[in-house]
Structure 1
């Protein structure tokens, strides 16, 4: 938790606004990774 988001788990669980920001960042990163995977998959199956 600390390496990825620069905060301790205690801080993450204590502050709702911080938790929401972390989860939004995780969602964006997940969506970006899914787009990259789809792009690579399309290039492999030409």
Structure 2
């Protein structure tokens, strides 16, 4: 998990778990990425079912 966190967000799990500001920033980024991916899936789905 440490390596994945480092690769994805440039911060290790230890820092993530100890620094609230960093954790909030990462979670905000994750939420943005999730919403964008859902938007893209929805767009592709609409194009497929025309």
**Normalising TM by the smaller chain, what interval?**
over 0.9
Give the root-mean-square deviation of aligned CA atoms. Answer: 0.2
Q: Could you list the runs of 5+ residues in structure 2 that have no partner in the other structure?
A: none
Normalising by structure 2, report the TM-score: 0.91
Measured against aligned partners, the alpha-carbon deviations of 1:21-46 in whole angstroms (never above 9, x if no partner) come to: 00000000000000000000000000
Match of 1:32 among 36, 45, 48: 36
Normalising by structure 1, report the TM-score: 0.99
Q: Could you list the runs of 5+ residues in structure 1 that have no partner in the other structure?
A: none
Q: Segments of 4+ in structure 1 off by > 2 A?
A: none
